[in-house]
Amino acid sequence: MPKRIHPKPISIADIFIKFSTEAQCLEYVEKMRWPDGVVRCSTCGDKNVKRVMRQSESKNKRPWFYLCLNKDCHQQFSPTAGTLFADSHLPLITWFHAIGLILNAKKGISAAQLQRDLGIGGYKTAWYLTHRIRESMKEANPVPLGGIVEIDETYIGGKVSGMGMKFAKKQKRVVAGAVQRGGKLRLRHIPDAKIETLSGFVKATLAPDVERVMTDQLRAYPAALGPEFVDRHEKVNHIIGEYVRGDVTTNSIESAFSLLKRGVIGQFHKLSGKHLHRYLAEFEYRFNNRSESDVFINTVRRLCNVSPLRFAELTSGPKA
């Protein structure tokens, strides 16, 4: 029987070698957008298009664009139009290398670090880049968790100088987490840890046929799990120093939280609650794809398939 070779995830060095020119990156984006190799007009869908090389290749320009030859259309379009790479003056190389660095940083990487590593002009540009990559990592339709699932909640950030402790606590962000043993992680920024809120998280997270659900002693859980899941609920009581009883423990979700916090506290000093959901999506994505050899390719594909996120959408609205 042939020995099964486990494909190794692509390394940063491989990414830097494989994608060392704009043309290589743009070819790759085209492969993702048009897997059958036939480039189609982004306006009318016609296959009768012509690649036009740009005359003077400035640093910020894509090396080529397309011209639709349909006489009723005649539009020019870029292979990145309609993707998250659009509206960006950054070279695609910077995007590709940023994706590699983010995927490889177990605790996440700050925009300031990425700016230094990749020689990006401004902090704001680097920040916007990281958030668009995070946006692509969001699971649109997450699969419910089954088997044995650990659920817990944690608090992130929140120290407000000059305010009393009572108020400072209110500024903390609540993150609900669930992990299927040997499976996927789910992290959500929730407004509070009240029964109704936790109940909403539980219902959106657990598969109806989940075997067992493990939590700590928090009083809200039995009610939050409700009649549907409460018969499969097992608790460890941290208050009396109990962390493991047989296989009943919440250690897996707690270690995911601790990794998240080391990243959030260490890398993202001024974390706004408004953007927390995107940081959580990044952590979740990295965790859930940790042994996926095609994670780099899949991430580029996601960026090609998510519609452009405007800077205004990222920065407007309340700082909730």
Query: Which residues, including other chains, have CB under 8 Å from residue 90's CB and lie 6 or more apart?
Result: 60, 120, 125, 129
Q: Which is nearer to Zn ion, 41 or 148 (by Cβ)?
A: 41
Would you list the DSSP string of 134-152? HHHT--SSPPPB-SEEEEE
Q: Which is nearer to Zn ion, 44 or 271 (by Cβ)?
A: 44
Provide the binding-site residues for Zn ion, judged by CB under 5 A.
41, 43-44, 46, 68, 70, 73, 75
Q: Which is nearer to Zn ion, 66 or 296 (by Cβ)?
A: 66
CB of 75 to Zn ion, least distance (A): 5
Q: Return phi, psi of residue 16, to 5°.
A: -65, -35
CB of 65 to Zn ion, least distance (A): 13
Q: Which is nearer to Zn ion, 70 or 267 (by Cβ)?
A: 70
- Here the contacts of 100-105 (C-beta below 8 Å, separation 24 or greater) are 100/10, 100/12, 100/15, 100/16, 100/296, 101/12, 102/130, 102/133, 102/134, 102/282, 103/286, 103/295, 103/296, 103/299, 104/11, 104/12
Q: Which is nearer to Zn ion, 24 or 75 (by Cβ)?
A: 75
Q: Which is nearer to Zn ion, 73 or 314 (by Cβ)?
A: 73
CB of 39 to Zn ion, least distance (A): 11
CA distance 189 to 275: 10
Q: How far is CA 158 from the centre of its chain?
A: 23
Q: Which is nearer to Zn ion, 75 or 315 (by Cβ)?
A: 75
CB of 46 to Zn ion, least distance (A): 5
CB of 14 to Zn ion, least distance (A): 37
CA distance 156 to 264: 8
Q: Which is nearer to Zn ion, 70 or 315 (by Cβ)?
A: 70
CB of 82 to Zn ion, least distance (A): 13
Question: Is the sign of the CA dihedral 130, 132, 134, 137 positive or negative?
Answer: negative
User: Which residue from 298, 297, 260 is spatially nearest to 282, judged by alpha carbons?
Assistant: 260
CB of 28 to Zn ion, least distance (A): 23
Would you list the DSSP string of 169-211? HHTSEEEEEEEETTS-EEEEEES---HHHHHHHHHHHB-TT--
CB of 305 to Zn ion, least distance (A): 21
CA–CA distances in Å: residue 311 to residues 245, 275, 304, 315: 49, 13, 17, 6
